[in-house]
Amino acid sequence: MKLLLKLFIAFIMMFANIGAVGIGRNERTADDIPAAAGVSSFVSMDVYSKRTLFEENGSAKRYPASLTKTLTAICAIENKDIDSEVVTDKSVCGIEGSSIYLKEGETYTLKALLYGLMLRSGNDAATAVAKYVSGSVENFADLMNKTALKAGAKNSNFTNPHGLHDENHYSTAYDMALISAYALKNETFAEIVKTKSVRVTYKDPSGEEKVKVFINKNKMLSMYDGADGVKTGFTKNSGRCLISSATRGGFSVVTVVLNTYDMWKKSKELLDSSFNNYERVTVAKADEMVAFTDIEGETEKCGLYIKNDVILPLTKEEKKSLKVEKEYPSSLKRPIKKDEPVGKIKIYASNKLIFEEKIYTIIEKK
């Protein structure tokens, strides 16, 4: 009996420095949360081309809640070394809502905080990341808005890194899909959001090394074949929100559902519809000449090309009606700069413009 007692005590001591960050006593899961008032919004988008596949109320103004952290994460990854160390101060501790329970004087790598941000939706982690990257939440919000515009999101405004309610903090399903598609092209971001659980080390205020285990709240990673992200969200004003992503056969789709009670079911339906109704088609290849144009006063011509492959998700009907048009000047005047945008290649399906890409100058034909 004494031997069993000693073994039990040894087992407990072995895990004394490991904290599993799962559901706190006062923290509800997404399934416990009632629907908010108002109409839901959703968008399904091809990550590569950013073509919208399905949409309803996609441009309606909405509060993005913790989906905000998708933008927070990519801002941090793009602007700081993720292996750099962050020392927590008093101001980041005890932020309301979901938490990874940071304490003053602890030391984490930025990457560890990003796992806490994206897997556990820690509002304290979001604040710590923002202050580390930009010095203040206000400065970080400026960075968020600049990055959102870079991703193509033109109808959003972000005032904080966590998504806690603010009347001036808003987005749309379409904008959040653009931000997510932009972020998913970053390997570090993609690695973090597809992780189901992770063990991170940190130092307490005395310098002693400890461990936390973060378990991802995103059930889609386990319930949908090919799922690889991204983020859950909720506030009373936003309702239940979810960004999901999945990849099958090289075809990556991101879906955003806002203020949707059964967000898991709706996200699955959108992903299924996207994969079942669309297939990727290579319309044009990067670095291939798409045209030649005259050079004024010369017999030589200037070659024109596109920098990126044009690979689009198309339905069977769209494939039958596909049309490619090229717009560029009939002649160019020297001096001609290499890689100067001078036109566009436009892709039509069923007489509707579905995609366009810039055409650039390359070298004169010899």
Distance between CA 231 and CA 68 in Å, rounded? 9
Selecting among 44, 66, 180, 267, the annotated active-site residue is 66
CB contact at 8 A, 333 and 296: yes
Tell me, yes or no, if 66 is annotated catalytic: yes
Sheet holding 85-87, edge to edge: 18-21, 209-215, 197-203, 107-109, 85-87
Distance between CA 226 and CA 221 in Å, rounded? 8
Tell me, yes or no, if 206 is annotated catalytic: no
Is residue 146 within a helix (H) or strand (E), and if so which, with residue range? helix 137-150
| Torsion over CA: 143, 147, 148, 150 (sign) | positive
Closest CA to 246 of 186, 180, 175, 310: 180
Selecting among 41, 49, 98, 121, the annotated active-site residue is 121
Distance between CA 185 and CA 14 in Å, rounded? 40
Tell me, yes or no, if 121 is annotated catalytic: yes
CB contact at 8 A, 43 and 255: yes
* SS3 state at 235: strand
Q: Residue 106: what are its φ and ψ, rounded to 5°?
A: -80, 155
Largest Cα–Cα separation, the chain = 101
Tokens coding 44: 């399904």
- The one-letter amino acid at 8: F
CB contact at 8 A, 242 and 257: yes
Selecting among 41, 69, 134, 266, the annotated active-site residue is 69
Distance between CA 216 and CA 29 in Å, rounded? 11
* SS3 state at 31: helix
Angle at which helices 68-79 and 110-119 cross, to 10°: 170
* SS3 state at 354: strand
Opening angle at CA 196, ends 190 and 197, nearest 5: 110
| Residues involved in catalysis | 66, 69, 121
